[in-house]
Structure 1
């Protein structure tokens, strides 16, 4: 696939008071978002940051599908999410299965913004693995940029993302690898988080 090239010197960097460190330590994953719309130009800014992720060999492996709220594409994915969730629930209670399926469908329909990210394969296993890693880095770029925009990115790899009908609906290649669904919106709260201290997972070798 041939892509237009952008020189780093031509990028218009958004003016924001949020530092890289602010974004890293403030980034959270939450399902709880407000109903506030995310303008297209904001989504475009997030996507613009994605392509500057580390990318060995400059393979440009990322492919994104943006599902507009209220779009036919969003409706199709929501119906698929309902079916996948309904079939996945092991509880034989039909009301429980219905409730879980309805929740999954509602999550897709109600998300202020929804983007699906794929990684295309390389010419060999090593390049394919590197491509996937690059797209993961691209998603992190978007998540950090979202903090500067007052938004949150909920990165999901649930069952529906792996369903073959999803790729068919998007026109994605059979050999593309799903990296995740990105639910994007204004957080309704700011949850606290914890991580293991770096001292417990780092070895300094002399």
Structure 2
């Protein structure tokens, strides 16, 4: 497949089988991520891979964090958020958590963008390998308590929880984009 076709065909797909994604495949995805461009070669990305029983443990921690954040809500609304946080990590057999770790050598935005490039590399390779992925965040991703649980530094920024698995079915999701010409101004 041509690279442009791969880029155009990549979609966020959350409906996955429970079948394990082999560690070797995850390692390939992580290697692709590390080849992202980054200013001054800071390599600002960090990865946390969660599989197996680790998903349940992560869900328990996420629900504990969410419980503390729902103090002003009705009991029913709070319980919905807590359960959603608990079940979130069970959406896929593997989760790759990607964080930007600002080095101070370049503006923080450049570190976040570089980590976004790493994310794109990972997503594209996963698509090429026939995997389904969906990158998510939500308020839990910005909780400093989650950084602590994941052994990330306090200033690290989680940019995505990437759910990885084998698709439950063949997805041919069509998408449209505004042509680049409509968003481009040329200066000559």
TM-score (norm 1): 0.79
CA distance in 2, matches of 1:148, 1:89: 44
- Residue by residue over 1:50-96, the C-alpha shift from the partner in whole angstroms, topping out at 9 and shown as x without a partner, is 1111111111111101112222xx333202333455655987362x5
1:121: how far off? 1.4
Match of 1:27? 10
CA distance in 2, matches of 1:90, 1:155: 29
Match of 2:150? 170
- 2:49 aligns with one of 66, 88, 91: 66
Match of 1:180, SS state, is strand
Query: Is the Cα–Cα contact under 8 Å of residues 97 and 160 in structure 2 kept in the other structure?
Result: yes
Match of 1:186? 166
TM-score (norm 2): 0.86
1:166: how far off? 1.0
1:152: how far off? 2.4
CA distance in 2, matches of 1:25, 1:198: 14
C-alpha RMSD of matched pairs (Å): 2.3
Match of 1:118, SS state, is strand
1:100: how far off? 4.6
1:129: how far off? 2.2
Match of 1:161? 141
Give ranges in structure 1 of 5+ residues lacking alignment.
1-17
- Residue by residue over 1:175-201, the C-alpha shift from the partner in whole angstroms, topping out at 9 and shown as x without a partner, is 212222111112335233232222211
- 1:80 aligns with one of 61, 70, 73: 61
Structure 1's consecutive aligned runs of 4 or more residues displaced over 6 angstroms after TM superposition are none
- Residue by residue over 1:91-120, the C-alpha shift from the partner in whole angstroms, topping out at 9 and shown as x without a partner, is 7362x5434533432231241110111111
